[in-house]
Amino acid sequence: MKHPENDPAYKGLNVNKGIPQPPSINPYLKKKAKRRQYTVDEYVDGILAGNIPILSQAVTLVESSKPEHEEMAQAIIEKCLPHSGNSIRVGITGVPGAGKSTSIDALGMYLINKGNKLAVLAIDPSSERSKGSILGDKTRMEKLSVQKNAFIRPSPAAGSLGGVARKTRETIILCEAAGFNYVFVETVGVGQSETAVHSMVDFFLLIQLAGTGDELQGIKRGIMEMADGIVINKADGDNIEKAKMAQRQLQNALHLFPVPESGWTPRVLTYSAYYNIGIEEIWDMIHEYIDFVKGNGYFERRRNEQAKYWMYETIDEQLKNNFYRNPVIEELMPRLEKEVLSAQKTSFAAAKEALDIYYGMQKR
Ligand code: GDP
């Protein structure tokens, strides 16, 4: 107890010996009751009744890679499928900092205030590496996160992009069956995840910023071509003029692209998510689009195309998983990799060897 404060001459308060920390404040904590297991029908009934805790648990099953969970999830999805499809699905993309979460908060609150139910899902390719995803995180959407009519779910964290995206698509089905009539799917505008999001939504919204140099530089042309609408955020204060200029540039650039299959020429709008300016106009645009494509049959066609796309995607994903998770293949691959790297084998020969072994095992 050699504190200067404990010197008899010291006039202030003394430092007392501390109390040892008990190992656990609540010794019963570990014995926390296990979650009750529902049957498939209980899950389905709960979802159809709009029970959010049950919906959440069902989504957890969808995200799980355990075979028994997968089987149950598929049974639930199948039973929910006839009750799905009744929402407007909007994909939202933009580089980090573009204002996705602020915009989702503002666009979402507009819907909630009109009595809608909104699910916010996400596909985050970076979650593959970090095993933790921030997209779709409740803390990023302050106003929405406390609304009982908003269901916010971060990106499924494990697996390949195809797997993660499939799970998000299946979650859309469950959310729709639970009565959510709007679904947002958020992703970062930097990689291939846009293609995945594009193939599960009705309207693809690209958030851009003005004043980042050449307006076309920041984002890949392919992503611009996918967009049904481009919105320039942060059109507030000193930024308004710059945003207007970017709007003109982008609109001109879009005229150079071929007319999309939908027959709809994408529009460019400016807005401020932070100051809640221009939000209604964005919704007017989206609803106008939906009416337009429902009128010309593209809405149905796109959803059918998407269903077909996901059938093939799922086959691809399952074949790959089945191959790479095979213990024999798992053991074989490092050796083949070495042989390819040291030029003992060609890539083709090594691939053929692995596939021959795999097919051989399938025949048995
Ligand atoms: P995200 O990374 O795309 O999700 O972007 P955030 O929504 O987190 O926004 C990034 C930053 O931009 C935050 O500091 C926001 O406060 C700010 N921001 C978002 N929208 C606006 C806006 O409309 N105007 C202004 N001035 N700032 C905004």
Is the per-residue pLDDT at 128 higher than 70? Answer: no
Residue 127 CB burial class (10 angstroms; 0-12, 13-18, ≥19) = buried
Phi, psi of 102 (to 5 degrees): -60, -40
| Gap between the terminal Cα atoms of the chain | 75
Q: CA angle, 123 as apex, 55 and 94 as ends, to 5°?
A: 130
229-269 confidence digits (pLDDT tens): 999 999 999 999 999 999 998 898 888 888 889 999 999 99
Give the distance (Å) from ligand 1 centre to CA of residue 232.
12
Residue 283 CB burial class (10 angstroms; 0-12, 13-18, ≥19) = middle
Give the distance (Å) from ligand 1 centre to CA of residue 163.
30
What was the pLDDT predicted at 158?
A: 64
Determine what percent of the chain is predicted with pLDDT higher than 70. 83
Q: Which residues pair with 272 in a beta bridge?
A: 277
Q: Are strands 88-94 and 229-233 parallel, antiparallel or unpaired?
A: unpaired
Phi, psi of 341 (to 5 degrees): -65, -30
Going by C-beta distance under 8 Å and a sequence separation of 6 or more, which residues neighbour residue 298? 261, 262, 263, 264
Give the helix, strand, coil percentages of the chain, each rounded to 5. 55, 10, 35
262 lines ligand 1 (CB under 6 A): no
Q: Which residue has the tokens 């406390």?
A: 146
Closest CA to ligand 1's atom 12:
99
Sheet holding 267-270, edge to edge: 150-152, 118-123, 182-188, 88-94, 203-209, 229-233, 267-270
**Ligand 1 nearest atom to the CA of residue 140, by list position:** 8
Structural tokens at position 246 = 């970017």
- Residue of 274, 275, 276, 281 best suited for mutating to test ligand 1, as the one with most atoms within 8 Å of CB: 274
Q: Residue 54: which of 40, 70, 75 has the closest Cα?
A: 40
Q: Which residue has the tokens 């959010």?
A: 52
Cα separation, 24 vs 306, in Å, equals 52
96-121 confidence digits (pLDDT tens): 889 999 999 999 999 999 999 999 99
What was the pLDDT predicted at 129?
A: 46
Give the distance (Å) from ligand 1 centre to CA of residue 94.
11
210 lines ligand 1 (CB under 6 A): no
Pair 210, 243: CB distance under 8 Å: yes
Is the per-residue pLDDT at 223 higher than 60? Answer: yes
Mean pLDDT, the chain, integer: 87
What was the pLDDT predicted at 95?
A: 84
Q: Which residue has the tokens 């010197």?
A: 7
295 lines ligand 1 (CB under 6 A): no
Q: Are strands 267-270 and 182-188 parallel, antiparallel or unpaired?
A: unpaired
**Ligand 1 nearest atom to the CA of residue 188, by list position:** 3
Give the distance (Å) from ligand 1 centre to CA of residue 233.
8
Give the distance (Å) from ligand 1 centre to CA of residue 199.
26
Is the per-residue pLDDT at 273 higher than 90? Answer: yes
187 lines ligand 1 (CB under 6 A): no
Give the distance (Å) from ligand 1 centre to CA of residue 78.
39
- Residue of 102, 140, 143, 208 best suited for mutating to test ligand 1, as the one with most atoms within 8 Å of CB: 102
Q: Are strands 182-188 and 203-209 parallel, antiparallel or unpaired?
A: unpaired
Closest CA to ligand 1's atom 6:
99
Determine what percent of the chain is predicted with pLDDT higher than 90. 62
Query: What residue type is assigned to position 149 of the chain?
Result: N
What was the pLDDT predicted at 224?
A: 82
Average pLDDT over residues 334-342: 97
What was the pLDDT predicted at 22?
A: 61
Answer with the residue of higher pLDDT: 210 or 108. 108
7-61 confidence digits (pLDDT tens): 767 666 666 677 666 666 666 665 555 667 899 999 999 999 999 999 999 999 9
Give the distance (Å) from ligand 1 centre to CA of residue 277.
13
93 lines ligand 1 (CB under 6 A): no
- pTM, rounded to two decimals: 0.83
Flag the least confident range among 26-35, 198-207, 350-359. Answer: 26-35
Domains of the chain by start residue, with CATH: 36-83 (1.20.5.170), 85-296 (3.40.50.300), 326-363 (no CATH)
**Ligand 1 nearest atom to the CA of residue 104, by list position:** 7
Give the distance (Å) from ligand 1 centre to CA of residue 309.
34
155-196 confidence digits (pLDDT tens): 877 667 778 888 999 999 999 999 999 999 998 766 678 888
Structural tokens at position 164 = 């993660």
- Helices 279-296 and 298-324, packing angle to 10 deg: 90
Closest CA to ligand 1's atom 17:
99
What was the pLDDT predicted at 60?
A: 93
Q: How many CB atoms lie within 10 A of CB 343?
A: 7
Cα separation, 96 vs 91, in Å, equals 15
Q: Residue 227: which of 248, 257, 249 has the closest Cα?
A: 257
What was the pLDDT predicted at 255?
A: 84
Average pLDDT over residues 66-93: 94
Q: How many CB atoms lie within 10 A of CB 83?
A: 16
Helical residues (DSSP H) of the chain, grouped into ranges: 40-48, 52-63, 67-80, 100-113, 127-130, 161-177, 193-198, 221-226, 240-255, 279-296, 298-324, 327-341, 347-363
Average pLDDT over residues 68-88: 94
